[in-house]
Amino acid sequence: MSFSKKKKYVKYQLSYKQKQKLFKIAQQNNTNPDKIVNQIEEFLDSFSEYDKNDLWEKLLSFLHLKMLEDKTKQRSDDIIETKKKINQEKKFLIEYEDDYLTIVELNRALESLNKV
C-alpha cells in the first residue's frame, strides 16, 4: 500500500472464484496478479474523492460502454478479415473447379484408351 496516509481503507479479501479470475486476467494480459490488484486499487483510489451517489453506477455503465465499443470495433475488424477469407476461398473454388474439369477430361481420355 502506497496510498495516502490520511485515507482509511477497508480490506477486501478475494474469494476463491475471484482469485481464479484474477489469475486468468493476469495470464491474458501478460502480467502478474499483484500488478492487477495494484492497478485496481489505484483505480478505486483515484475515484474515491469524487463520491457521489450515482458515481459507481455511472462508472460501471461507462466501463460497459467502453467494452461494447471495443467489441464492436473488434467485430468490424473480424468482418473485414472474414470477407478477405471468403474472397480467397472463392478464388480457390474457381481454380479447383477448372482443375477438376481438366482432370476429368484427361481421365476420360485415358480410360477410353485403356480399353483399347
Partner 1 sequence: MSEKRKFNIWIPDSTAESIPDLVDLVEQLLYYFPYIFKVDLEELKKKDNLEKELEEVNKEFNQISQIYGKLRQEYGVIHFEANELYTRNTLTGLKLGMLMKKLEKAKSIWGPKLSLDYDSAKEIIKHYSDRYLLKREEEI
- Does 32 participate in binding partner 1 (rule CB under 8 A)? no
- Does 35 participate in binding partner 1 (rule CB under 8 A)? no
Residue 44 C-beta: closest distance to partner 1, Å: 6
Of 44, 43, 22, residue with least CA distance to 33: 22
Residues 72-91 that bind partner 1 (CB under 8 A): 72, 75-76, 78-79, 82-83, 85-86, 89-90
Classify residue 64 by its DSSP letter.
H
Residue 81 C-beta: closest distance to partner 1, Å: 10
What distance in Å separates the CA atoms of residue 81 and residue 79, rounded to the nearest whole number? 5
Classify residue 66 by its DSSP letter.
H
